[in-house]
């Protein structure tokens, strides 16, 4: 099993490239804004990951693992979409898409590990 630090480093290594890649591919991110987008991606993961980790260990023990994961991931996607929307000054739909794609990739890799 991964430690919290290992899991966070993996999340950072997966989610930031997803955000930057999607922003670049969809032409939502002007090249001049790359540093800001990178910082927003790192900040979003650093803000949400500790809460998600704690909740996965200590909260809602009566839920199935799948139910718990869905509840936690939904909250993380909503929180991160707000960070992207406000921090990058993009539409809520784009912020939500960034958060959803980045977290889906991270969650999928986490299942494999």
The dihedral over CA atoms of 91, 106, 46, 69, expressed in degrees to the nearest 10, equals: 90
Confidence band, pLDDT 50/70/90 cuts, at residue 61: confident
Residue 65 pLDDT greater than 90, yes or no: no
∠ CA 56-59-62 to the nearest 5 degrees? 100
pTM: 0.93
Share of the chain above pLDDT 70, in %: 99
Whether 52 and 76 have beta carbons less than 8 Å apart is answered as: yes
Please give the average per-residue pLDDT across 62-82, as a whole number. 91
| DSSP SS3 for 77 | helix
What phi and psi values does residue 91 have, to the nearest 5 degrees? Answer: -65, 155
């Amino acid at each position: 099993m991964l430690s919290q630090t290992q899991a966070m480093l993996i999340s950072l290594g997966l989610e930031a490239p997803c955000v930057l890649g999607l922003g670049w591919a969809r032409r939502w991110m002007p090249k001049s804004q790359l540093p800001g987008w990178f910082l927003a991606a790192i900040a979003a993961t650093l803000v949400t990951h500790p809460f998600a980790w704690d909740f996965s260990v200590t909260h809602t023990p009566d839920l199935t693992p799948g139910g718990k994961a869905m509840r936690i991931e939904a909250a993380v996607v909503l929180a991160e979409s707000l960070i992207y929307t406000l921090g990058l000054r993009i539409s809520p739909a784009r912020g939500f898409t960034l958060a959803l794609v980045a977290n889906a990739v991270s969650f999928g890799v986490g299942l494999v590990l």
